[in-house]
Chain A
Amino acid sequence: DIVMTQSPDSLGVALGERATINCRSSQSVWDSSNNKNNLAWYQQKPGQPPKLLIYWASNREPGVPDRFTGGGSGTDFTLTIDSLQAEDLAVYYCQQYYSNPITFGPGTTVDIK
Chain B
Amino acid sequence: QVHLVQSGAEVKKPGASVTVSCKTSGYPFTGYYIHWVRQAPGQGLEWLGWINPNRGATTFAPKFQGRVTMTRDTSMRTVYLVLSRLRSDDTAVYFCAREGGNSGYDDLDHWGQGTLVTVSS
Please give the residue numbers on chain A whose beta carbons come within 8 Å of chain B beta carbons, in ascending order.
Answer: 38, 40, 42, 49-52, 55-56, 61, 93, 95, 97-107
Contact = CB atoms under 8 A, between A and B. Distances in A.
Looking at chain B's contact residues, the main secondary structure is mixed
Contact of B47 (A56, A103, A105, A106): A103
Interface string B11-24: 00000000000000
B56 interface: no
Contact of B61 (A38, A97, A100): A100
B105 A98 contact: yes
Looking at chain A's contact residues, the main secondary structure is loop
A52 B63 contact: no
B106 to A, nearest CB: 6
B47 A101 contact: yes
A104 B111 contact: no
Interface residues of B, number: 22
Contact of A38 (B105, B109, B113): B105
A101 B44 contact: no
Contacts of A106: 44
A97 B33 CA distance: 13
Interface in B84-121: 95, 97, 100, 105-109, 111-114
